[in-house]
Amino acid sequence: MATLCRPAVAVPEHVITMEQTLDLARELHGGHPQLDLVLRLIGNTGVRTRHLIQPIEETLAHPGFTARNALYETQAKARVPTVVRQALHHAELTVRDIDMIVYVSCTGFMMPSLTAWLINSMGFRPETRQLPIAQLGCAAGGAAINRAHDFCTAYPRANVLIVSCEFCSLCYQPTDLGVGSLLSNGLFGDAVAAAVVRGDGGTGVRLACNGSHLVPNTEDWISYGVRDTGFHFLLDKRVPGTMAMLAPAMCAMAEPFGWDASGLDFYIVHAGGPRILDDLGQFLDLPSEMFRYSRATLTERGNIASAVIFDALDRLFAEGGAVDSARGIIAGFGPGITAEIALGTWAGAQEAEGEGEQAVRQSAMQAA
């Protein structure tokens, strides 16, 4: 069975605090008729710090979409290889062991995808398969895990590298003055992450099954307006209430396997905002503590789009992981409204080694 190994996560060096964000909102939008509401909403996000690829002065400038997209490519090529090497190290693999690269990002555009550059510049085999995912937004981290799981199910001894590159600050639009846009200016941050799904062996989350759920007729709740000035993020005020529709989907997916979505041992979910986590806890009848990894990501790094679930999962690893065979759920939420959900059990080092030894013994017996 495929195992999702420990992710590697990196954030840029430029930091903006909640206090700085609120001061900037007062300075830039002092005459906004709903400024008090905007300040209250930003304050309620719980985001204390965010990391940006540029100093805030340069982030607030808009040199045009061409310059921004060029910066996206430059920064991606500068920052992604480091997390890739670290993720491979965590998985105890090399570039030559990887059979597919899944690249997820919704904050810039490249064609060929960054996957082609990674293969050429880092020594991956030329036959390495490429799967870029660009239009699932924050749900793409979950989708990447699920597509990696599918691939390893079809090719049981294959290994898949997942890369998430999200520079949300490059989507800042100074002329977008709606409440949703101004809230987003205080919510999103930048990050890159990578993780390996091993078809055999490895320590981490042993993936059991996966699924997807689309909430009907919510296509315009989270979207991009693609204009001359780039990507304009559109956020409907109904989005925070989507857990009323997605929590039942999580329960329905777990039920056929005899799992109770309200009784699992760990939860790695996308932290789009505090209400998402609050409502999910309410609908699943879970204490706030069960979402501590996602809350920590939101507090320290903001909403880092598809990279959120990798950052939250890394925090589980940093805490020492879970007990062997502990059951958990990984879920990403994004445009559509779409949920990408995976169920899995924790496989510690000894358990993973035991399975590897068992496979060797079975192969030897078959050969004999």
In the chain, what are the domain boundaries? Answer: 3-198, 204-350
Residue 240: what pLDDT? Answer: 78
Residue 239: what pLDDT? Answer: 83
Residue 273: what pLDDT? Answer: 86
Residue 299: what pLDDT? Answer: 96
Q: Which residue did the predictor score with more confidence, 1 or 51?
A: 51
pLDDT beyond 90 at 355: no
| DSSP states along 81-128 | HHHHHHHHHHHT--GGG--EEEEE-SS---SS-HHHHHHHHHT--TT-
State how far the alpha carbon of 234 is from the alpha carbons of 167, 171, 224, 239, 287, in Å: 17, 11, 6, 11, 31
Give Dmax over CA atoms of the chain in angstroms.
Answer: 81
Residue 54: what pLDDT? Answer: 97
From CA 218, how far away is CA 201, in angstroms rounded?
40
| DSSP states along 325-340 | T-EEEEEEEETEEEEE
pLDDT-derived band at 271 (thresholds 50, 70, 90) equals confident
Residue 365: what pLDDT? Answer: 29
Percent of the chain clearing pLDDT 90 (strictly above):
81
Residue 363: what pLDDT? Answer: 33
Residue 205: what pLDDT? Answer: 97
Closest to 306 (Cα-Cα) out of 193, 184, 230, 185:
193
Q: Give the mean pLDDT of 151-164.
A: 97
CATH fold match for the domains 3-198 and 204-350: yes
Contact by Cβ (8 Å): 81, 144: no
DSSP-assigned letter for residue 303: B
Percent of the chain clearing pLDDT 70 (strictly above):
95
From CA 271, how far away is CA 298, in angstroms rounded?
6
**Segment 18-37, tens digit of pLDDT:** 999 999 999 999 999 999 99
- State the catalytic residue, choosing from 5, 138, 168, 171: 138
Round the average pLDDT of the chain to a whole number and report it. 92
Distance, C-alpha 327 to centroid of its chain: 20
Q: Give the mean pLDDT of 98-122.
A: 97
Catalytic: 138? yes
**Segment 246-268, tens digit of pLDDT:** 999 999 989 988 899 999 999 99
Q: Is 49 helix (H, G, I), strand (E, B) or coil?
A: strand
The strand pairing partners of 342, in sequence order, are 210, 330
**Segment 218-242, tens digit of pLDDT:** 998 888 888 989 898 888 888 878 8
pLDDT beyond 90 at 359: no
pLDDT-derived band at 366 (thresholds 50, 70, 90) equals very low
Contact by Cβ (8 Å): 339, 139: yes
Helix, strand, coil % in the chain, rounded to nearest 5: 45, 25, 30
204-350: CATH topology is Peroxisomal Thiolase; Chain A, domain 1 (3.40.47)
Residue 361: what pLDDT? Answer: 31
Say whether domain 3-198 belongs to CATH 3.30.210.10.
no
Residue 351: what pLDDT? Answer: 57
